[in-house]
Amino acid sequence: MNIQFEAVTKYYNQGNERITALQDVSFQVNSGESLAVIGQSGSGKTTLLSLLAGLETCESGTIQLGATTVSALPDSQFTKFRALHMGIVFQQYHLMPHLTALENVLLPLEINHVSQAREKASDILVQVGLEKRLRHLPSQMSGGENQRVAIARAMVHGPQIILADEPSGSLDLKNGEMVMDLLFRLCDQAQSTLILVTHDNGLARRCKKTLHLKGGKIV
Ligand code: ADP
Ligand code: MG
């Protein structure tokens, strides 16, 4: 699914102060391509992902995902759109702590009423190398394993857009590389559009395009 930002501006109000988190941001990513979003802390990277995911709304501009102008969707419809078409990977995994690996991966399938959910969930856990961890809780797995479960959960329902915010940021070098190789490989296989927020220029170079933010603007 292609992604288009057209003159997007986002403010946060904090007390009497208005913080411009993104200012007049326009870019386009074609279906199946990858975009790295780089920039210093506070430059607007997470805000950009939050707008894409419909977790925040923008003051002006339009965001178009495929044929849908999502910036005009009411919350309830954006929630459905997100569940069906997006997978999100966070730096801190954000798995449900009381659910096993398999149960965490089942969640997006259950939300979307997908048939043969257990087979699909275990298949993707095998693909990420966790066939021996299906019944483990997040607390019983390493950071790298948790992030592989999170990637499986983000991708199990075949979303056309993957959003990832510093997915290797909490991992050591070896596990970070393993997780990133996996994410790139699965996105490629599924022809998903990948938006990757990263501090790592080496990782950014693996993406087809790079967007450099500074103070909420593209540089
Ligand atoms: P990054 O992810 O690049 O570190 P963010 O998108 O989190 O940057 O933040 C961009 C700017 O918006 C920063 O100045 C930050 O302090 C501000 N900001 C982010 N979220 C909020 C919020 N919920 N309320 C007020 N200001 C915020
Ligand atoms: Mg951030």
Euclidean distance between CA atoms 103 and 108, whole angstroms: 10
Sign (positive/negative) of CA torsion 75, 78, 84, 86? negative
Tens digits of residue pLDDT in 16-59: 999 999 999 999 999 999 999 999 999 999 999 999 999 999 99
Query: 60: helix, coil or strand?
Result: strand
Cα 186 to ligand 2 centre (Å) = 24
Look at residues 166, 212, 206 and name the one whose alpha carbon lies nearest to residue 187: 206
Tens digits of residue pLDDT in 76-118: 999 999 999 999 999 999 999 999 999 999 999 999 999 999 9
pTM of the model: 0.94
Which residues lie with the beta carbon below 6 Å from any ligand 1 atom?
A: 12, 14, 19, 21, 39, 41-47
- Output the residue whose Cα is nearest ligand 1's atom 25: 12
- Output the residue whose Cα is nearest ligand 1's atom 5: 44
DSSP 128: T
